Structure 1
Amino acid sequence: MHDAPITVAGQPLATASKALILLHGRGGSAADILSLARYLPVADYALLAPQVTGHTWYPQSFLAPLAYNEPYLTAALGAAGRAVALAGSHGISPENVYLLGFSQGACLTLEYAARHAMRYGGVVAFTGGLIGDRLYLDSYTGDFAGTPCLLASGDPDAHVPAARVRASTALLTTLGAAVTEQITPGMGHTVTPQELVLANQLIFKQPAD
């Protein structure tokens, strides 16, 4: 379950000093999410994209009780953890590891990061929130130590309520993250050019034109 090899692109792990871990959405693929890298200033990063079995990280809505998505959710978190460990095994420290996901992958990105809070390079969630019918506060430990995080979503969104995005922002903030929340009215379930610009400036530190 969720044990397919991680697709590795960008700079070779042996020589890269930074890594970007990308988690695709429901129905998507590693190749899909890797295509976002062309819009990000990550030419010198190793890119790691796990491919989920069956193109779905977990079967139910991310707002379902946690047990409804098991054992898939645990396996999905494990896949994210293996990508982080792969970067670490090549000497890339957590503060140089960046996490990014879209939709179901964004939810998984936030859930993994909040369960393993530490100083990452940055966290980007394009249309996602923490997982569960409620926020299980005992699941979240550690200290982000100022990790820059971007939570960007639309309102309304058919899958991700803005209220959960806001609750996720608040939770990450209590864990020490420096969170920027961008909720755009009528945006649709997508990643917009404006969100990419924001990610580039806030997370990947690309100077504004």
Structure 2
Amino acid sequence: MYTHSKQIVTAGTPVDKAKKAIIMLHGRGASAASIISLKDHLALDGYAIFAPQATEYSWYPYSFMAPVSNNQPMLDSALQVIGELVADIKQQGIAQENIYILGFSQGACLTLEYATRNAGRYGGIIAFTGGLIGEKLVTENYQGNFNQTPVLQTTGDPDPHVPVSRVNESVAIIEGLNAQVTLRIFKGRQHTISGEELALANELLK
């Protein structure tokens, strides 16, 4: 089993000149470069952009609904990479309330899992088709106070990888930690990111 090394692709405004930063987490089989290409559709002027690259193009081997032990040690390693990256960005002078985290699919699951285990005030959290991770959700894992951080969660119904029931369950936990959640479920949408979802994300990013 592999773990992740810290390979970060950067784009956007240099971090020492940026007012805000965004961490972008790619999906299974994709790359840091592919998720960064979303910047052409997102309101990221003035943002420093950071995209970690997963080893073997996958953050963890099995479904996010598998028992957590099946996805170790990769899941903990992935969460550690994000934690170290958040710490690095703060050290470079951008406060956590100006840090945004965005992910698609496997990256969206990781976005929610990291943020909800480390609830605090962020700029915003954007999860395109994802939910909290585990066969059953262990609510004790999720602590802190989002202090009204805006959270966007979107998914298709039905989605081949992410059951709507898990998305709803995740929203309930995240709202319970004082986040301001916007949930949008798109009937019959493919496993992709639609223009409508990008428009919702841009409202949050602006």
Q: Alignment partner for residue 111 of structure 1, among 105, 110, 113?
A: 113
User: For residues 40-72 of structure 1, what are the alpha-carbon distances to aligned partners after superposition, in whole Å with 9 as ceiling and x for unaligned?
Assistant: 111200000000000000001000011110000
> Where does the alignment leave 5 or more consecutive residues of structure 2 unmatched?
none
1:100 is paired with a residue whose SS is strand
Structure 1 length normalisation: TM-score?
0.96
Aligned partners of 1:52, 1:99: CA distance in 2, in Å?
A: 16
1:144 aligns with 2:169: no
User: For residues 83-123 of structure 1, what are the alpha-carbon distances to aligned partners after superposition, in whole Å with 9 as ceiling and x for unaligned?
Assistant: 21121111100000000000000000000000000000000
For 1:91, the aligned partner's letter is G
Structure 2 length normalisation: TM-score?
0.97
Instruction: Measure how far apart 1:79 and its partner are.
Output: 1.2
Other-structure match for 1:71: 73
Aligned partners of 2:119, 2:39: CA distance in 1, in Å?
A: 24
Contact 1:119 1:147 in 2 (8 A): yes
Aligned partners of 2:45, 2:81: CA distance in 1, in Å?
A: 24
1:125 aligns with 2:133: no
Question: 12-21 vs 109-118, which deviates more?
Answer: 12-21
Other-structure match for 2:205: 204
User: For residues 129-152 of structure 1, what are the alpha-carbon distances to aligned partners after superposition, in whole Å with 9 as ceiling and x for unaligned?
Assistant: 000011110101110000000000
Give me the identity figure in percent.
Answer: 52
Aligned partners of 2:121, 2:37: CA distance in 1, in Å?
A: 26
For 2:24, the aligned partner's letter is L
Contact 1:4 1:53 in 2 (8 A): no
Aligned partners of 2:19, 2:76: CA distance in 1, in Å?
A: 29
Other-structure match for 2:93: 91
Return structure 1 stretches of 4+ with deviation > 6 angstroms. none
1:31 aligns with 2:30: no
For 1:204, the aligned partner's letter is L
Other-structure match for 2:44: 42
1:19 is paired with a residue whose SS is strand
Contact 1:26 1:104 in 2 (8 A): yes
Contact 1:143 1:175 in 2 (8 A): yes
For 1:114, the aligned partner's letter is T
Contact 1:16 1:46 in 2 (8 A): yes
Instruction: Measure how far apart 1:15 and its partner are.
Output: 1.3
For 1:188, the aligned partner's letter is Q
For 2:33, the aligned partner's letter is A
Other-structure match for 2:197: 195
Instruction: Measure how far apart 1:37 and its partner are.
Output: 1.1
Instruction: Measure how far apart 1:4 and its partner are.
Output: 3.7
Aligned partners of 2:194, 2:177: CA distance in 1, in Å?
A: 28
Question: 58-67 vs 2-11, which deviates more?
Answer: 2-11
Instruction: Measure how far apart 1:14 and its partner are.
Output: 1.3
Aligned partners of 1:5, 1:59: CA distance in 2, in Å?
A: 19
CA RMSD of aligned residues (A): 0.7
